[in-house]
Structure 1
Amino acid sequence: MPTTPSGAPARRRTLLIVVAVALVLALVIGARLSRSEPRGAPAASTAASFVSASGATRWSTPPPSGLTATPALSGSASPLVPPAAATAAVAAAEKATGARMGLSMAPVGGPATATVPWTAGIMTGGPAWSTIKLPIVLANLHAGTATGTESTVRAAITRSDNQAAETLTRRLGDDAAAARAVDAELARHHDTRTRAATTSDRPDFSVLGQTMWSLPDQTVFMASMACTADAAPLRTLMGQVTSDQSWGLGTLHGSLFKGGWGPGIDGRYLVRQTGVITVGKSQYAVSMEAVASDGSFSAGTAALDRLAASLPGVARKMPAGTCG
């Protein structure tokens, strides 16, 4: 029968001991590594709870496909970097008021590809609220279902009267037909990204008012609307907004504007405006918004007052804008 060298059993025992020790060391090292985290790395649960509590996903992120405007800009594949003056202005207003804010501007006039706005601040858009009344009125003027001098149109723009806006909406048809008419006006003014809402999960508010409208896309629309002849009656009314709604852009002499505001699902108010300001011989389309730290409407308008005061200085760092 075969024989085994006398030292073999001892060597096998030694080898088994070495392997066992190596396995134990590997398990210990692996356990320690699994318990460690890179320094400064936030816990996933903390980040998730912050987004939920702040409401940032509703007001400050690009809207979801099919319901809202996409983050890409009309006439451009990517947004421009805001001038340093704009970034500083928004940061100063946020620091002074504690609000979360966003600002977008562009010179008026020029082809769609030349009117590419930048956006500064943490916020980039949200529900249009009453700013959607601008394309609603334009759609009626274009269809011949309203005139710029009638009381219904005046009330919808100068007083932001909701019943007047509902009357104008119904002249365009049902919700789907009204949305198509609004989409056509947006596209005619170079905002080809935004899609007017046809349904809403918030029955207490108007369907079209829940259209998600990004700040840069709204600025594209405004930069065009500032110069089109058929929008002249609307621009006239935008210069006659009542004093109680003349906050933000309304504090600047000669500005044309329309505001919108409403509560988010957490009850905090989004306050926004879009319009045109004149600085020297140039005009600039502006869209801006705020959510105050306490979520109130009054604190939101105060934050926009603060930001508006800086806009002429920001505009002077931009190319000139003129119609024609």
Structure 2
Amino acid sequence: MSEKTVTTEQAASTEHETGGISIGHVGLYATLIGLVGFYLLPIESGLVTSIKTPTALQETFPFLPPLSASGVTVEKWQVAFEYLAPGMVNSVLFTIPSTILCAILGSMAAYGLTLVNWRGQIAVLALFIAGIFVPYQAVIVPLFQFWSQYMQLSARLSFLWGLPLLERHHATILELIITHTAYGVPIVTLLFRSQYKTMSGEMIEAARLDGASVWRVYRRIVLPLSIPMFAVVFIFQFTQIWNEFLFSLTIIGSVNNPAASATLILSGLGQSLEGTDYPLRMAGAFITALPTLLVYVLFADKFAEGVQT
């Protein structure tokens, strides 16, 4: 390459640079900052709205803070927490067991459908795949009739309601646990199966040649290697079940029910004859979202590891 050519390329490069940073980098950073602002603006607007007094809410735009200190209040957060506290407890009572059961049953089903050979395996796998595509709306009426007319757990388990810490509305929570578990197992099975298909077949076969049973192979080899995927499934299912509304509305039915979930209570929070109390509703929305945020923080490392597998 001649000296003239090198000088020309250096001059062209210098023309497209400002202060040592190229125009391409400036455009990239500007785009990233714009995307961050685009996605964070709704969160910022919600937080600002939740601390505004009714007067400040009318005087300012949703994304702007109150004009004075007198327009700031945390009363809505206190009221929202008082309303949502029983529902948060109920949501925890059915979300955590449902998530754990989905993970355990899905892992065992995926193991049996992937690393164990038996007749009819493909047909059973097809049923699991079909279960993923059954919409919630298609099962609302049968689900309501099943629990309210046929099972009636509250009456069948009446001998338990005299025990300490057990109340009649816990039957409704048990119904939600079973429903969410049944609906979540198919997708969880597919998630675990995607990981088990990448496991070394030679390692599994060597364990079998050494005399390990099907259960022992799962417990000693497959299960320890599944920890990252368990984190992925836990985050995914916890978020889905915690935020789910349709099953809660169908099975629980009313905000006044002692078994009402957080999302069901949130749906009517801040509504009155005078209109909608947006600061109260925003505060309730953020309080309801805190458990899912906490789960993401606690399992973030394992989640990233599981996604990569």
Q: Taking structure 1 as the reference length, what is the TM-score of the superposition?
A: 0.25
Higher RCO, 1 or 2 (CA under 8 Å, sep at least 6)? 2
The TM-score with structure 2 as length reference comes to 0.26
Structure of higher CA gyration radius: 1
Task: Give the structure with the higher percent helix.
Answer: 2
